[in-house]
Amino acid sequence: MSSKAVKQAIMNGDKAFKQFFKGLSKFPRYKKKRKQDVKCYFPKNNKTDWTVERHRVKVPTIGWIRLKEYGYIPKNATVKSGTVYQRAGRYFVSVLCELEEMATKLALNAVGLGIDLGVKDFATRSDGIVHENINKTIKVKKIEKRLKREQRS
């Protein structure tokens, strides 16, 4: 186990006592190791500690863990630390990531844009583009009808 993991547990206890003395929370309870869900904190000490691939993540001292779905952890993010915990017999990974700032360019228009909200169409722009109301589509109407039927029974 990493020394930073033990330090994190001490920091969590310190934070709990500080919140108690400020009057923000109750006195922290002692929680037995056997009576709670397992929780482990893993910091990133070097580059190869937390490696993220398509459907799996590499956790230090544990190894590769398969993810249920792809895309929860962004590819361009650098993982700072993570927590592996067990709840109801299932294991979960919580990851702290750092994303690079993406510079967004704003297109400056000299011409203004007017929007008219209507009853028939959701919105009509001054350049002639009409946006339809997505709640009036046939698929949504069918789903709402089914929901009403299910709620009645």
Which range is least confidently modeled, 6-10, 25-29, 100-104? 100-104
Tens digit of each residue's pLDDT (9 = 90 or more) over 60-111: 777 888 887 776 777 777 888 888 887 777 778 888 888 877 767 777 767 7
Q: To the nearest 5 percent, what fractions of the chain are helix, strand and coil?
A: 25, 25, 50
Of 16, 39, 31, nearest in space to 94 by CA = 39
pTM, two decimal places: 0.48
Whole-angstrom distance, CA of residue 39 vs CA of residue 31: 12
Of 63, 60, 53, nearest in space to 82 by CA = 60
